[in-house]
Amino acid sequence: MNNLYVSVKEACTLLECGRTKIYTYYINQGYLSVKKKLGNRSFFLREDVMQIKHNEESGNVLTILEDQPNKQSLLVPIHQSKDSDKTNILKPASNSTEEIAQDQAMTEYISDLKSQIHELETTLKEKTDVIDKYKLKILESIPLIEHNESQKQLSETKQLLEFSEQRGQSLLEETHELQQENEIKQQNIEKSLKAALVYKNNLKEESTKLQKISQLQEKYQEHSNTLEQCRFYEFSRKRSLKIELDRIMIAIKNLSHSK
């Protein structure tokens, strides 16, 4: 693109690592972030990549970029008022920013895998075309050979045929290797998609649980306010409210500790 940005492939070359480490380590840990998008391609600031390379070579600690979202726990405590002596209630914290960042990293990783497969298929087609050209040359050269040509010409033709056979065999082996690499890439994509689906289902279950906890907390607060407003002689009502508050607190704790 220009000297200001580097692609994922260039970043791999500069940092001497693979694409997997770029996404699962540098980006996921916050040491590197995508600064520009061009279609499915991602670009980083060259300055950020060179800073990481310098820190690793010097043995310095890597610096987390300021524009990375901070990871938060799913539950954080809410402190009650001074008049209440109950245990702190757990309140759900939003993780939408983290979810979006992880989904984006997963999408970019899968997109790069598909780009690699496309490049391998293109290379495979080019190798096949070369084989076809060699075969065509051989077929075209056979009718042109005259019976009275010298032994030297026959020897050269034989050497050309041997070279063509060796080259063809070599290209076939390379084609087989490329096909195997393509199959491995496809398997990795399927595994990544399955992992992403499991991750999405887990997030959905966690969101449902947190929503239930929030509803119970609101109900707990309403009963607490009602209990404080009761008259001193409303013993039966106070007792019913306390039993309901204990039941809600147990339900919240059970949901908070469930997996």
The pTM assigned to this predicted structure is 0.30
With 70 as the cut, is the pLDDT of residue 229 above it?
yes
Residues above pLDDT 90, as percent of the chain: 23
Is pLDDT above 80 for 37? yes
User: What pLDDT shows up at residue 109?
Assistant: 65
Q: How is residue 25 annotated by DSSP?
A: I
For all residues of the chain together, what is the average pLDDT? 79
Q: What is the pLDDT of residue 66?
A: 57
Query: What's the rounded Cα separation, in Å, for the pair 190 and 222?
Result: 49
The pLDDT score that the predictor gives to residue 27 is: 92
Res 99: pLDDT:
55
Strand partners, 91: 76
Determine how many CB atoms are found less than 10 A away from the CB of residue 199: 14
Is residue 93 predicted with pLDDT exceeding 70? no
CA distances from 93 to 54, 73, 76, 90, 249 (A): 37, 7, 6, 9, 19
Q: Is the model's pLDDT at 101 over the cut of 90?
A: no
